[in-house]
Amino acid sequence: MPWKQETADASELRERLRAARRVFVLTGAGVSAESGVPTFRGGGRTAVWKGMPFDVISSAGMIGRDLSLVWEWFDYRRGVLGSCRPNPAHETLAGWQTRFPSFALATQNIDGLHAEAGSRGVYELHGNAWRARCLNCGGREDVREKPAEVRPPVCRDCGGLCRRRRRARTSSRSTQRRRRSPASAA
């Protein structure tokens, strides 16, 4: 019986999508897990890096206490993400932008795989691992263009310290492939 219910639900979803004119999709860790992106959270207070749980490493308090350690954590994550590629789910969602008259895609993921698959205007609710913002002037920069040996990175405009950028929206210009240079894993 559960299989028949799942089939009926899938059939109803297909029918709704066939008739839809406006579609909003929200994705999370599950969509990128198939690409090899670890979810990192582990559940509860599970240590995910250097004996610290995710909610401590990525907290605003940690940014204030030890920005260099936060950068070390995100450099580690970028190293993991460097070999990940979009999967069929990312590619399907990218195709939906031309299929539906009005389509919006929001993600909780910071991996940039939706944009790499061709999605435009993605609402990145938790930012992007590949972009940084200056804590002083608010300037935005691509981490791949910063020297890997300088952590935290320094703003090219004012010399202030940078942090990973949160709450980003991709544009067609920012969808460049992130692995064009050997330094991109930094």
Q: Residues with catalytic annotation?
A: 126
* DSSP states of 76-98: HHHHHHTT----HHHHHHHHHHH
- Alpha-carbon span 175 to 186, nearest angstrom: 18
Q: What letter represents residue 75's amino acid?
A: D
Nearest alpha carbon to residue 69 among 141, 164, 178: 164
Element spanning 26, H or E: strand 22-27
How do strand 52-53 and strand 47-49 relate by DSSP bridges? Answer: antiparallel
> Secondary structure of the chain: what % helix, strand, coil (to 5)?
40, 20, 40
Nearest alpha carbon to residue 80 among 59, 52, 49: 49
